[in-house]
Structure 1
Amino acid sequence: MVNAVIAEDNRHVMDILKKFLIRKNVEIVGEASDGKTAFHLTDQHQPQLLFVDIDLPQLDGLSLAKLVKTRYQNIKIIFTTGYKEYAWKAFEIDAIDYLVKPFTEERLSICWEKIKKNIRLNLHFEPKDFLLLKNDRGIDFVKTKNIVYITSEQRYTKFVTLSHGTKKIIKTPETLKSIQEQLDRKKFTRTHKSYIVNLDYVKRIEPSGQTYMIYFDQINDYAYLSKHYLNHVYDILQ
């Protein structure tokens, strides 16, 4: 799965980038309006992509990119700015593209082609209709459309499925990360470090203390939605 941090202090530009990347099945793991916050998010999540506005408060985009590159050389950087004259400095830092604001949908598509070429991943992912889950008894065949949510539980990953009104629980030693890579990103999304949720079953989301609760159709279970993933989930649901 491809993920990204966006460092941009213009809310309108941030929204344009988010919507475009979500349509490309990119997970937004961090959003920042200043350079220091962007650096901490990049350090925490180590994304594959980092979109950076050059004119950021606290720590400018060029300085941020240099810091990131000293630690994580494989992160691909795309600069956004209203000033063409910084382009040569951006490419000195080995940026893969330089978007001058305001940019068009066509220009973003050109940028996306450069991203695909650089990260060398198969972004034309075809989600599976079935998952094969290994466990102590053998292998369970699970229809992905029947999965309500998935959660990590001690040494296991627990699947909660629903078929013809019957709830079933399946456990596997496979990790959440390896499972998420097999699922359709338009339907299944990470909502918490320990949860993946099938958005087709979401009935409502409610605040609960410092976090949020997700409630489902047809079953009384709930899942957690952390503030970190809140904007990403809302963007997908819109």
Structure 2
Amino acid sequence: MYRIAIVDDDGVQRRALRDMLEELVPDGVECSIGLYGDLDELEGGPVDIAFVDILLRDGANGIEEVLEHFSDTPKVQVIYVTGYVEYCSAVYDTSHIGFLVKPVKRQELSDAFHRALERLHAVREQPFAVRFKTTTYAMHPSQVMYVESKLRLAYFHCINAYTVRTYMKLSDIVDRLPARFHHCHSSYLVNLDFVKAITKTDFILSDDTHVPISHRRWSEANDAFWRHLESNAD
């Protein structure tokens, strides 16, 4: 799941950009799009992609606010949006993925959005550190078959029957993993690369492990399974 924030003090502009973005989300990619009048309204966890208007309420400078707000989250993909091309030079002194001029053209939005998704995919494929007691492990997403949450611990079940445990919430873990990891149950994430079959209650993995699918998530899980097969066939 990628979290997208559209930050613009003009409600009409926010909604228009959201409507275009919803049509551009690729099959198999889950996105949550939030609308905000300014960056101070952001809440609910880290943002993956931020579309930020350069001129916000009361003349606030969106560039300066981005630098301040995302100083601790350098992996966020920032795309500036403005009706004032004179800000172009100021934008290119900052780290960003795109610069869109209003009225935003669909193709330019598509190009910037897909560049951001490609960079996020590359970031999430990289190994990350997990810690348990005095040991730190390098977790490689490509080697994780599924993740299980149990009694405040998360268990990374990897290839070759290798398991790593850590104190993490699934909601935090899913934000660090590639889109092929599907949240099929309140206590499970599954790597669709290792799924060989789906039933009404489980994913069956390549080593015959059964990963449960909750009843309310089954329809989404089934759709994700078929999208993943189709994308690999392409």
The TM-score normalised by the length of structure 1 is 0.49
Higher strand share: 1
